[in-house]
Amino acid sequence: MDTDELEPIIKPKEVDFDTLSIEELNEYIVNLEKEIEKAKNYISSKNKDRLNAEELFKK
């Protein structure tokens, strides 16, 4: 079983865009971009860990 399957799925909160100002929407986008970057870094880290494990077990 892959350990990724054990991690909980986080459902994002729904945002009512009609109630947000342009400034708030821009801030929302900036925050989403930060989260995307964190997720990309986490994926990169997991890929490195997997490659290291594969190399270890090849020997």
Which pLDDT belongs to residue 4? 62
The region, left, alpha or beta by phi > 0 then psi within -120 to 50, assigned to residue 11 is beta
Which pLDDT belongs to residue 30? 98
pLDDT (tens digit per residue) in 1-59: 566 667 777 877 899 999 999 999 999 999 999 999 999 999 999 999 999 999 888 86
Let me know if residue 5 belongs to a domain.
Answer: no
The C-alpha atoms of residue 24 and residue 18 are separated, in whole angstroms, by 11
Let me know if residue 7 belongs to a domain.
Answer: no
Which pLDDT belongs to residue 38? 96
* Burial track 4-23 (b if 16+ CB lie within 10 A, e otherwise): eeeeeeeeeeeeeeeeeeee
pTM: predicted TM-score of the whole model, two decimal places: 0.66
Which pLDDT belongs to residue 8? 78
Let me know if residue 24 belongs to a domain.
Answer: yes
Let me know if residue 23 belongs to a domain.
Answer: yes
